[in-house]
Amino acid sequence: MKKFRILGFLFAVILVMVVAGATRWKAVTTLNIDYDEDDYLRAAQQYTAIIRSGELSGFLETNYRPEHPPFAKIILGLSLLSDPEKPLTPDHPTSAEPNQYLARDLLRTDRVTNAIFGIITAGLLALVNPLAGLLLAVHAWTIKYVSQIMLEAVPAFASLLCVFSYVLWKKKEQNRVNGWLVMSAIFLGITAASKYLYGVVGIAILIDWWIDAAKAGEWKKALRNILIWGLLGVVIFFLLNPYLWPDPIGRLKESILYHSAYAQGASEVENAQFPVWQQFIWLSTSPRMWQADAFYFSVDPIIAILAAMGLVTTWQKHRVYALWLIIALFFLLIWPTKWPQYLVTLSVPLCLSASEGLNTILIAPIRAWILQLMGRKNTIIVRQKSEFRKALPWLIPGFISFAVFTLVPLFYQLGVSMTDFNSVSIKDGLNGGIWREVWGGITGQIEVALQNFPYRSKEVHYLGLSNFKPVFDYLSQQQVLFNNILWTVVSVALQTLLGLATALVLWQRGVKLKRAWQSLFILPWAIPEMIGALMWVNVFAPEIGWLSLAAQKYGPAMPFSFLLGWENSPSMWLVILLISGVWYGFPFMMLSASAGLKMMPKESFDAAQIDGANALQTFRYITWPLLYPLLIPAIIIRGIFAFNQFYLFQAFRIGTGTLATLSYNFFNPSGFFINGQFAVSAVINIITVVILIGFVILFNRWSKADQGVTYA
Amino acid sequence: MRKYLWVRQILGQIFLIIIGLYVIVPIWGMLRLAFDGSLLSRPTEFRFFPKVFSLEPLFSVLDRPYQSVHFTTLLKNSLVVSLGAALLALVLGASLAYAFARFRFPGRKPGLFILLLTAVIPPIAFATPLYIVLSILQIRTSLLGLTIVYAVFAIPFCIWNMRAAFQSVPRELEEAAFLDGAGYLSTFRYVTLPLALPSIAIAALISFLMAYSEFAIGWLFVDKAQTVTLSMAIYAMVQSGNAQPWSILGSLVVIMSIPVILVFVIFQRTLLERMLFGALDS
């Protein structure tokens, strides 16, 4: 049995490497030449020349693009040795357009070298978790940047190996220095000597170490090991970085200063004008938008969503990887330049977390279901059969009405989503055109038509699943999906904080006017959302709103005047919407928290008071642990509401605010948008439903709502 | 210690006052409009209080027509559609709710999952196919069509709520009635239904409120002024801009919202539980 498992495991690893090989080979052979590829090819050629001439002292003075350490470039140089010599690639500034006249054979060799590192990385990750390896094998951003002449592939590989060996060391002999620890240190050095940013794994390992030491209380031994590991890492870094040898401090300083100057001054950084959270936007898109033919398919946004769902499990199972992901994300947030290749620093833990997420929401439930099916006892089946017969008279009429009024519209929608049905072709569609095309398309009698978005044809055509592509393109161009998720997270977080704070203050003993305050605070919840939204429009509307009128009367020095002119700045839009959205949503969280607080046993608080706990400790150790299982279902429900938020955006006339708003405005034949796109709206609704499935799974896990508490 | 408590009280009250202001500002902004008799069009200057306090706009709403439709018609449309939708949702959902509440049957768990999912799908995702289906049936722009649309929005949520209502009736009571010789239907009719009725009423209430305060999606199902509901009239007024005094708009908002607010304040705890889909039960 054990042998079987090992064989299966090996097979999975090989499969992952084959998939990784296929995806990367396609990328190597088809990707257009990108920025920086000429620079690193030039750097590699310089090293090749040094090795060929035999004057190894050249290493001391050579490091083209000195902002990055030389090791990855040396590797690229080594791999060029077997190729014929070509004239040195000319020196261009970093802002120049990609150089299209690179020597093709050299380009191929170096790309392949990088891709091999990428394939091994995926295989190595498959050793940790085969599913994670598979996800890394198909992660399009990673594919792109490890298949070009970039400096990502080598440090990505080394950083994984560094963590990998560290984990093995931790499993085996916590307290001794052994081969694995040495290996971890060596690869830490290699990582740093290839690209500095990848050094975040070192920080993740340190924190992991610290947590373990704090738990075990063995500081001394831990400290000794850390010192050995760290020093060895630094030594290796120095050894692999010959450029530093003549003037270590000066040249290190030079490269670091370059980064800060680059971030502030370089024209390409300024022109890009990326917001702070740009890396999250990259995560929610994929490089297919630039060159679709270089990737078989792209599931990057799904991987990102799954990773968010799996983070908690990853923390429990592979803490150091979770730390890696969190710290790398944090670094990318504060790192002033926002190039998408930096995503490769975290794509390994991202895919691991995504595999855990996939496991939680899909694989584990299915497995449990199958086990349940296999292990079901006969007696239960008998009992169920008898109840089934009893239930039948209720089920049949109930199911029919539910199907007719709820399921049929949804299935009809699925059909519409596979066509180009729009307000111009409404006559054909209503006369059976939708049915004709969908049936014909599914049975293969009608070929997939090519229609340009927005659809304006007079007859309905079958588009099949190809309809999803223009919609996804539109969604990522307008960043609708990203904005929708940003809105959900930020607004629900604020609502929860405010609701919880209010509930806690009202819950204190002896607060005056408790009931009056509470009745006042539930007003926003009681007011219909559309009315509440109109009220805020009445406050904020430019020129005619209360705020603008006040500014006309009292001049610009009055309080809140910084909110004026919000209509000209995207981030102020967000602030205004958040003010309104939080106003509408926080009472629900307050009521939920109050309901939870009421259910708490008084005794624990008395005991805590007797033991001399202060307010903060009481909250941290008693209130919060008791409260959060009750609060989380409320947060998820609020999350669903916020995700579907419609009237607020409609009142402020933001057509692309959420998927629901977008769907409405695409649909509405007399709307203020690209209107009457019935099929597109159907596609968006289907995407919404798919995302909501994730929400409902989460909700079920936390509330057990589907178990039916009292039915037996 | 006493002094410390006072400090806490004051800090707490300051926090509550700030939150209270946040809550009250937009409401006050609308109320101020509703009671200002001096407005001829949009407000042109900043005021905390109405310039001329007057109840006149409030009453003028009642006899001033919206595009030749009188307030009574608007209210009638609103009530017909909302009550109709609530009733339809109850009737159509009851039997499925009972089946889910009482019986164990294959496919029960996936069924509940689908039910929960359909309950959280945004209304627009139902509206778009209904638009087409009802167009084919040629009832899209009638009050009946609108009623069906709102009923469809409400059905899943309504089933979920009625299921909770039926579950709260002790099973033993039903079994007792059964032993006394009552049939399934009469047990349901005379034992379960009366006991669950208060909770079912809440489910109906929620469905009613959903339909009563909806405007944007209903807009797709209206092509003449005669079938416009109250909340749609408000939205239309906002769209039409400065054609009439904003005090009318404010008054209409006040008149429309007051019943809803009352319901929420009175039934807050129950409504909260229902909106949490029973997550607080355990």
Q: Mind giving me the DSSP string for A346-395?
A: HHHHHHHHHHHHHIIIIIHHHHHHHHHHHH--HHHHHHHHHHHHHHHHHH
Q: What is the DSSP letter of A620?
A: I
Instruction: Give Dmax over CA atoms of chain A in angstroms.
Output: 91
Q: What is the pLDDT of residue A507?
A: 86
Mean of pLDDT values over A62-85: 88
- Reported as a pLDDT band with limits 50, 70 and 90, residue A643 is very high
pLDDT, tens digit (0-9, with 9 covering 90-100), for B95-139:
899 888 888 887 788 888 888 899 899 998 898 888 888 888 888
Contact between A685 and B161 under an 8 Å Cβ cutoff? The reply is: no
Is residue B94 within 8 A of residue B154, CB to CB? The reply is no
Tell me, what's the pLDDT at B280?
61
Residue of A nearest to B262 (CA): A526
**Residues in B 100-159 with any Cβ partner in A closer than 8 A:** 100-106, 109, 112-113, 116-118, 120-133, 135-136, 148, 151-152, 155-156, 159
In this structure, of A520-524, A625-629, B276-280, the range with the lowest mean pLDDT score is: B276-280
User: How confident is the model at residue A711, as a pLDDT?
Assistant: 32
If you average pLDDT over each of A190-199, A552-561, B244-253, which comes out highest?
Answer: A190-199
Residue A239 has pLDDT above 60, yes or no: yes
Whether A517 sits inside 8 A of B20 (CB atoms) is yes
Of A123-137, A246-260, A541-555, give the range with the top mean pLDDT.
A123-137
Per-residue confidence (pLDDT) for residue A75, from 0 to 100: 92
Pick the residue from chain A with its C-alpha nearest to B246: A538
Q: Is the pLDDT of residue A32 over 80?
A: yes
pLDDT at A493: 94
> Which is more confidently placed, B171 or A185?
A185
The pLDDT of residue B27 is: 92
As beta bridge partners, residue B69 has B66
d(CA A559, CA B23): 17
Nearest CA-CA distance, residue A672 and chain B, Å: 12
pLDDT tens profile B160-169: 888 888 888 8
- CA-based nearest distance A619→chain B, Å: 16
pLDDT at A707: 47
Query: For residues A619-644, b (16+ Cβ closer than 10 Å) or e, as one string?
Result: eeebbeebbeebbbbbbbbbbbbbbb
CB atoms within 10 A of CB A208: 21
Contact A121, A86 (CB under 8 A): no
Please say whether the dihedral angle defined by the alpha carbons of residues A83, A89, A94 and A97, taken in this order, is positive or negative: negative
Q: In the predicted model, is pLDDT for residue A117 greater than 90?
A: yes
* B269 at A interface, C-beta within 8 A: yes
| Distances, alpha carbon A178 to alpha carbons A128, A163, A456, A551, A697, in Å | 20, 15, 69, 70, 44
Asked if A488 reaches chain B (Cβ–Cβ under 8 Å), the answer is: no
Asked if the C-beta of B235 comes within 8 angstroms of chain A's C-beta atoms, the answer is yes
In this prediction, residue A102 carries a pLDDT of 83
**Residue B19 binned pLDDT confidence (cut-offs 50, 70, 90):** very high
Handedness of CA B237, B242, B245, B250 (dihedral sign): positive
Contact A426/B at CB under 8 A = yes
Distance between B63 CA and the closest CA of chain A, angstroms: 22
Residues of A in contact with B265 (CB under 8 A): 519, 522, 526
Q: Write out chain A residues lying below 8 Å of B121, CB-based.
A: 410, 688-689, 692
For chain A, percent of residues with pLDDT exceeding 90: 32
Q: Where are the domains of chain B?
A: 2-61, 66-240
Q: How is residue A433 annotated by DSSP? A: I
Residues A405, B272: C-beta atoms closer than 8 Å: no
Instruction: Please give the radius of gyration of chain A, using alpha carbons only, rounded to the nearest integer.
Output: 30
pLDDT at site B22: 94
Q: Look at A254 and B151; give whichever has higher pLDDT.
A: B151
Residue A143 clears pLDDT 90, i.e. is over it: yes
DSSP A143-178: HHHHSSSSSSHHHHHHHHHHHHHHHHHHHH-TTS--
Between helices A2-30 and A130-138, what is the axis angle to 10°? Answer: 10
Return the residue in B10, B39, B124, B189 with the most chain A beta carbons within 10 A, the one to mutate for interface testing: B124
CB contact under 8 A, B279 and A637: yes
**Cβ pair B227, B80 in contact under 8 A:** no
Name the residue with higher pLDDT: A278 or A233.
A233
Tokens 């941290």 correspond to: A620
The reply to whether A628 touches chain B by the CB within 8 Å rule is no
Tokens at residue A579, please? 């003010």
Q: Give the relative orientation of helices A153-172 and A71-79 as an angle to the nearest 10 degrees.
A: 110
| CATH number given to B66-240 | 1.10.3720.10
pLDDT at residue A260 in the model: 75
Least Cα distance to A204 among A283, A110, A288, A319 occurs for A319
Decide if B268 contacts B61 (C-beta within 8 A): no
Report d(CA B19, CA A524) in Å as an integer. Answer: 12
Of the given ranges (A144-148, A454-458, B113-117, B252-256), which has the lowest mean pLDDT?
A: A454-458
Where in chain A are the domains? 2-359, 480-657
Mean pLDDT value across residues A232-237: 93
Contact B279, A702 (CB under 8 A): yes
Q: Give the Å distances, CA to CA, from A637 to A630, A703, B255.
A: 12, 11, 29
A140 against A555, higher pLDDT:
A140
pLDDT recorded at residue A1 = 63
Give A77 to chain B, closest Cα distance, Å: 56
Q: Per 3-state DSSP, what percentage of chain A is helix, strand, and coil (rounded to 5)?
A: 75, 0, 25
pLDDT category, A604, cuts 50, 70, 90? confident
Within 8 A of A520 by CB-CB distance, chain B residues are 20, 23-24
- Give the position of tokens 């991987």: A303
- The pLDDT tens digits of the residues spanning A526-543 come to 888 888 998 998 888 887
Q: What is the pLDDT of residues A400-420, one digit of tens each?
A: 888 888 888 888 888 888 888
How big is the A-B interface in CB pairs under 8 Å? Answer: 311
The 10 Å CB-count burial string (b at 16+, else e) for A87-116 is eebeeeeeeeeebeebbeebbebbbebbbb
**Contact assignment for A539 to B98 by CB distance below 8 Å:** no
Name the one residue in this structure whose structure tokens are 């738990």: A215
User: Distance, in angstroms, between A656 CA and closest chain B CA?
Assistant: 14
| B280 interface with A at CB cutoff 8 Å | yes
Rounded to an integer, the average pLDDT of A55-79 is: 88
Question: Is the Cβ pair A398, B99 closer than 8 Å?
Answer: yes
Out of A141-155, A224-238, A302-316, B262-276, pick the least confident.
Answer: B262-276
Whole-number pLDDT of residue A598: 83
DSSP for B41-70?
Answer: SS--S--SS-SSB-SHHHHHHHHS-BTTB-
Of A267-276, A335-344, A671-680, the range with the lowest mean pLDDT is: A267-276
CA atoms within 13 A on the CB side of B163: 31
Place A208 in a pLDDT band, splitting at 50, 70 and 90.
very high
B1 pLDDT tier (thresholds 50, 70, 90): very low
Among partner residues B106, B116, B122, which is closest to A706 by beta-carbon distance?
Answer: B116
- Test A633 with B277 for CB contact under 8 angstroms: yes
Measured between CA atoms, the residue of chain A closest to residue B31 is: A535
Residue of A421, A538, A702 lying closest to B29 (CB–CB): A538
Task: Calculate how close chain A gets to B143, using CA atoms only, in Å.
Answer: 17
Contacts of residue B213 in chain A, CB cutoff 8 Å?
Answer: 528-531
Distance, CA of B159 to CA of A397 (rounded, Å): 13
- Confirm or reject contact between A535 and chain B (CB < 8 A): yes
How far is Cα A274 from Cα B181, in angstroms, rounded to an integer?
75
Q: Which residue has the higher pLDDT, A378 or A259?
A: A259
CB contact under 8 A, A534 and B238: yes
Give the separation between CA B253 and CA A580, rounded to whole angstroms.
Answer: 17
Highest mean pLDDT among A471-480, A653-662, B84-93: B84-93
Report the pLDDT averaged over residues A197-203: 93
Q: Looking at this protein, which amino acid is placed at residue A108?
A: R
Whose CA is closest to A412, among A696, A679, A693, A687?
Answer: A679
A546 Cα to chain B: minimum distance (Å): 6
Contact between chains at A406 and B216 (C-beta distance less than 8 A)? no
User: pLDDT category, A710, cuts 50, 70, 90?
Assistant: very low
Query: Which is more confident, A11 or A424?
Result: A11
Cβ distance of A522 and B277 shorter than 8 Å: no
- pLDDT given at position A709: 37
Q: What angle do CA A416, A465, A470 make, to 5 degrees?
A: 90
Q: Would you state the pLDDT for residue A272?
A: 66
Q: Is the peptide bond before A470 cis (omega within 30 degrees of 0)?
A: no
Q: Residue B201: CB partners within 8 Å, gap ≥ 6?
A: none
pLDDT number for residue B65: 61
Residue A541's φ and ψ, nearest 5 degrees, are -50, 135
Task: Kindly identify which residue of chain A lies nearest to residue B150, measuring between CA atoms.
Answer: A405
Which chain A residue has its CA at the smallest distance from B149's CA?
A405
A712: pLDDT strictly greater than 80: no
- Are the Cβ atoms of A685 and B20 closer than 8 angstroms? no
Q: What CA–CA distance (Å, rounded) separates A152 from A142? A: 9
Kindly report the nearest CA distance between residue A396 and chain B, in angstroms: 8
Residues of A in contact with B43 (CB under 8 A): 544, 549
Residue pair A22/A118 in contact by the 8 Å Cβ criterion:
no
Side-chain half-sphere exposure of B64, counting CA atoms within 13 A: 15
Contact (CB<8Å) B44/A549: yes
B115: helix, coil or strand?
A: helix
Contact A44, A85 (CB under 8 A): no
Which comes out higher in pLDDT, residue B70 or B156?
B156
* Cβ distance of A406 and B118 shorter than 8 Å: yes
The closest of A337, A348, A354, A296 to A138, measured between CA atoms, is A296
Q: Give A406 to chain B, closest Cα distance, Å.
A: 6
Q: What angle do CA A122, A128, A130 make, to 5 degrees?
A: 60
State chain B's mean pLDDT as an integer.
83
**DSSP conformation letters of A271-295:** HH---TTHHHHHHTS-GGGT-GGG-
The least confident of A1-5, A60-64, A493-497, B220-224 is A1-5
CB-neighbour burial class of residue A490 (10 A; exposed 0-12, middle 13-18, buried 19+): middle
- pLDDT in the model for residue B20: 94
Q: Is A544 on the interface with B (CB under 8 A)?
A: yes
User: Is the separation of the CB atoms in A171 and A163 below 8 Å?
Assistant: no
Give the confidence band of A694 by pLDDT, cuts at 50, 70, 90.
confident
Is 50 exceeded by the pLDDT of residue B282?
no
Cβ pair B253:A531 closer than 8 A: yes
B246 min Cα distance to partner chain A (Å): 10
What is residue B35's three-state secondary structure?
Answer: coil
A699–B125 C-beta distance less than 8 A:
no
Whether A98 shows a pLDDT value over 50: the answer reads yes
Under the banding of pLDDT at 50, 70 and 90, the label for residue B26 is: very high
Q: Tell me what percent of the residues of chain A surpass a pLDDT of 70.
A: 95
Mean pLDDT across chain A: 85
User: 0.90 exceeded by the pTM?
Assistant: no
Q: Examine the pLDDT at A384 and tell me if it is beyond 90.
A: no
A593 to chain B: nearest residue by CA? B280
| B residues 50..89 contacting A (CB < 8 A) | none
Residue B49 confidence (pLDDT):
77
Please compute the mean of the pLDDT values over residues A685-706 and round it to a whole number. Answer: 81
Handedness of CA A513, A515, A517, A519 (dihedral sign): negative
> Does A555 touch chain B if contact means CB atoms closer than 8 Å?
no
Average pLDDT of the residues in A314-343: 90
Q: Rounded to an integer, what distance in angstroms lies between the CA atom of residue A290 and that of residue A292?
A: 6
- Percent of chain B surpassing pLDDT 70: 93
**What number does CATH give the domain A480-657?**
1.10.3720.10
pLDDT at B242: 61
CA distances in angstroms from A126 to A14, A319, B151, listed in the order given = 9, 17, 50
Structure tokens given for B171: 């099973």
Asked if A532 and B26 come within 8 Å (Cβ–Cβ), the reply is yes
Residue showing tokens 């290699």: A190
Contact between A76 and A49 under an 8 Å Cβ cutoff? The reply is: no
What's phi and psi for B36, nearest 5 deg?
Answer: -95, 110
pLDDT in tens, B35-55: 887 776 677 777 777 777 777
- List CB contacts (< 8 A) between B253 and chain A: 531, 534-535
* Contact (CB<8Å) A394/B96: yes
Maximum mean pLDDT: which of A494-498, A598-602, B216-220 = A494-498
Helices (H), A429-478: 434-442, 468-477
Q: What is the structure's pLDDT at A136?
A: 95
| pLDDT at residue B60 tops 80 | no
Spatial contact of B226 and B217, defined as CB atoms under 8 Å apart: no
B275 closest CB neighbour out of A429, A526, A637? A637
DSSP H helices, chain B, are 2-34, 56-63, 71-102, 108-120, 123-137, 143-167, 171-179, 184-187, 193-212, 230-240, 246-266, 268-275
